[in-house]
Structure 1
Amino acid sequence: MFIDDFLDYLQYERSYSEHTLLAYRKDLSQFREYAEIHQEGVFSPSTIDKDLVRNWIVYLLDSGFSPTTVNRKLSSLKSFFKYLIKQNVLSSNPLRLLNGPKTKKGLPYFVKEKEMELLLDSDHFDEDFEGVRDRLILELFYDTGVRLSELTYLKDSDIDFGAMLVKVKGKRNKERLIPFAEGLKSLLQTYIALRNREIGIASPSLFVKKNGEPASTSTIYNIVKRNLKQIPALGKCSPHVLRHSFATSMLNNGAELNAVKEILGHSSLASTSVYTHTTFEELKKVYHAHPRAKKEGGSYGN
């Protein structure tokens, strides 16, 4: 009961996305099952303590979950207990000072500019409805840095062709405006005209399937994954890779960090700063190609 009430709170009062709600439900259900096994078949938040949660963390790690995934699950559980405090179900939070396993933060995957241009400008995409739609989806991710959920729920009314701005609704229901260039404007207009002619306007959603139904997050995710696989040696293929690629490309071409933060919709500059490390790694690779760097004692960086 408590978990369902918490999920309703996230959905109706905090406006969390369907994708996020599913993740919370999975994490909390997993913990409830573990607690029931170790508490004689009963799940009662008032009897949960640090030791039980620590043992759950060890169990997850032993089961093969990565520290990053375990920390996400722990974060879900902490949010749940904060909610119980707020609802006066509990008087204290047993997880307040509990830390998760340490993680080694790697640099985000991204697509190099030349590789992305080759993919988008090639004849890889068909000229039918699905081909035009799929290319636009990749272009929109790469040109604006929007999240998967933000792109999925775009409507025609969110596109301002006069001002050349797209309005997206991000985390915590916050809206922001992102500018776009002439090339993307042309692609958007071509797609909308083709969609209206061949599919009809059965939905206010910008992106639809051939049957006119709105394209789901999983549909769009698979479109991106399938097309990014055309790029050799790309370690990961997902919409978030294109978001990383957008940010990295912006910084590589002289954009201010604060400006990129606002476009991405980050609440903290620290979240955006990770891309400066990515650009620094690229600079080191370029330097290693310099003749002076190849000489003994001429290496730069570690």
Structure 2
Amino acid sequence: MMGFYRAERALRPVDGSIAWVVVGEDFSLHEEACAFLAGLRARGRSSNTERVYAGRVAVYLSWCEANGVDCTRPALLDLARFLRWLVAEPLPARSRDGSGVPRFRSEATANAVMTGVCEFLRFGARHGWVPAEVAASLTEPRYLAYLPSGFDPGEQGQFRNVRARMLKYSAAVEGPQWLSDEQIEQLRSAAVRGRDRLLVSLLACTGMRIGEALGLHRQDMHLLSNSAMLGCQVTGPHVHVRRRLDANGALAKSRFPRWIPVTEELVDAYTEYLHERAARVSGEADSEAVFVNLYAGRLGRPMTYVAAKDMFDRLARRVGFEARPHMLRHSAATRWIRSGIERDVVQRLLGHASASSLDVYLHADDDELRDAVTRVAAGREAGA
């Protein structure tokens, strides 16, 4: 059924940077969807965020086209049907998966798609091509009886009254997924290229977001014991994370620059990568980005989110377990907190704006859960 609209990557002619658009079967631009994506771009959202929202809006537009629904004037019942369809409709089979077992979206994924659709409709209401009553129907007033961690209810509890989305599944919220030190080492060993080993090591060592890593410039790598000659007062090897929009669409989520110390092992990995890079690309083809294409695409150009995802997918197939860039960020945060590092230090290392963002990392592992049960059982036996 699907195929009416799809998300496509485009290169902006002014500076060659990546932008995302939604096109129809004849490659004509969907005007409202492209305006919505341009609005995300204007607000400083990353290319990866733009890509995700482009895909979500394209799915919604295709469903509307197939079901005779005006995408700018859906009734609440239409959106409820769409939400149900998201989990009931089988996904296309993966080319590498010959099992023939159908795949379906989870309820959490369906909620995420609906979030993108609601943003699209609210954007349209602000610009006059979606009726205001449609946008108003997306939420309902709700009183927060139980406050989320870090939420300020106000002196009189005035902030407990919020507007909550009408349509969403009550999907279970899974905790962060992380990798053990052994699994991280397996990933490094599975990476046959110096660039890929460096990326795995950097994410595991610093807890950077993948967008921050792909946005690094060589001038951000201060890997000497003393960086005074670079105009930097920080001592010891470290890297700087700065918010800048690059041609590959990489963008640091945090609006505040920060520096993160790194280990000598990471310095060695970077040196190895520089030798590999010098043998593959040089001169005008090279760029200031730390991570660049060395084996596919335009050599020397900044590595993209898609290329990084493909790299991690390859490594995951080799090691036999799921491995995504953000899992390494969770791994670093979990390791720091379990080692007794103060929360304000971890917050600064991760670039979180709020300390409450660390709550998801305060989880017990399998051994701690089993130890709790075993110790209680042992106490009962001793008292018997």
User: TM-score w.r.t. structure 1 length?
Assistant: 0.81
- Give 1:165 shift: 2.7
Which one of the candidate residues 100, 124, 132 is aligned to 1:91?
132
Give a deviation string over 1:220-262, Cα, whole Å, max 9, x none: 2233333355556x4x211121111111111111122333233
Describe how 1:267-282 pairs up with structure 2 within 5 A.
267-277=353-363, 279=364, 281-282=366-367
SS at match of 2:105: coil
Higher share of residues assigned helix: 1
1:255 aligns with 2:255: no
Alpha-carbon distance in 1 for matches of 2:40, 2:77: 27
Q: CA distance change for structure 1 residues 118 and 36 in 2, over 3 Å: closer, same or farther?
A: closer
Higher share of residues assigned strand: 2
Alpha-carbon distance in 1 for matches of 2:353, 2:281: 38
Which one of the candidate residues 269, 277, 281 is aligned to 1:195?
277
Does the CA contact (< 8 Å) of 1:257 and 1:273 recur in 2? no
Q: Return the structure number with greater relative CO, CA threshold 8 A, min gap 6.
A: 1
Which one of the candidate residues 178, 181, 187 is aligned to 2:260?
178
- Give 1:158 shift: 2.4
Q: Which amino acid aligns with 2:86?
A: L
User: TM-score w.r.t. structure 2 length?
Assistant: 0.65
What's the C-alpha RMSD, in Å, of the aligned pairs? Answer: 2.8
1:154 aligns with 2:209: no
Alpha-carbon distance in 2 for matches of 1:282, 1:81: 46
Counterpart of 1:166 in structure 2 is: 240
Alpha-carbon distance in 2 for matches of 1:139, 1:269: 25
Q: CA distance change for structure 1 residues 114 and 293 in 2, over 3 Å: closer, same or farther?
A: farther
Describe how 1:16-55 pairs up with structure 2 within 5 A.
16-39=45-68, 42-43=70-71, 45=72, 47-55=73-81
- Give 1:88 shift: 4.1
Alpha-carbon distance in 2 for matches of 1:282, 1:297: 20
Alpha-carbon distance in 1 for matches of 2:56, 2:256: 25
Q: CA distance change for structure 1 residues 173 and 36 in 2, over 3 Å: closer, same or farther?
A: farther
Alpha-carbon distance in 2 for matches of 1:250, 1:208: 29
Does the CA contact (< 8 Å) of 2:207 and 2:329 recur in 1? yes
Q: Which moved more, 1:54-63 or 1:155-164?
A: 155-164
Displacement over 6 Å in runs of 4+: none
Q: Which moved more, 1:184-193 or 1:100-109?
A: 184-193
Alpha-carbon distance in 1 for matches of 2:55, 2:106: 16
Which one of the candidate residues 83, 95, 101 is aligned to 1:57?
83
- Give 1:287 shift: 4.9
Q: CA distance change for structure 1 residues 83 and 175 in 2, over 3 Å: closer, same or farther?
A: farther
Gaps of 5+ in 2: 1-30, 90-103, 141-165, 228-233, 244-251
Percent identity over paired residues? 22
Q: Which amino acid aligns with 1:139?
A: S
Alpha-carbon distance in 2 for matches of 1:256, 1:137: 26
Q: CA distance change for structure 1 residues 109 and 147 in 2, over 3 Å: closer, same or farther?
A: same
1:14 aligns with 2:96: no
Count matched residues: 283
Give a deviation string over 1:45-101, Cα, whole Å, max 9, x none: 2x2232211111111122232111111111111211232233344434221231310
Counterpart of 2:290 in structure 1 is: 206
Describe how 1:210-289 pairs up with structure 2 within 5 A.
210=294, 211-229=299-317, 231=319, 234=321, 236-277=322-363, 279=364, 281-287=366-372
Q: CA distance change for structure 1 residues 219 and 102 in 2, over 3 Å: closer, same or farther?
A: same
Alpha-carbon distance in 2 for matches of 1:125, 1:51: 49
Give a deviation string over 1:183-239, Cα, whole Å, max 9, x none: 32332244235423542251222112223333222222233333355556x4x2111
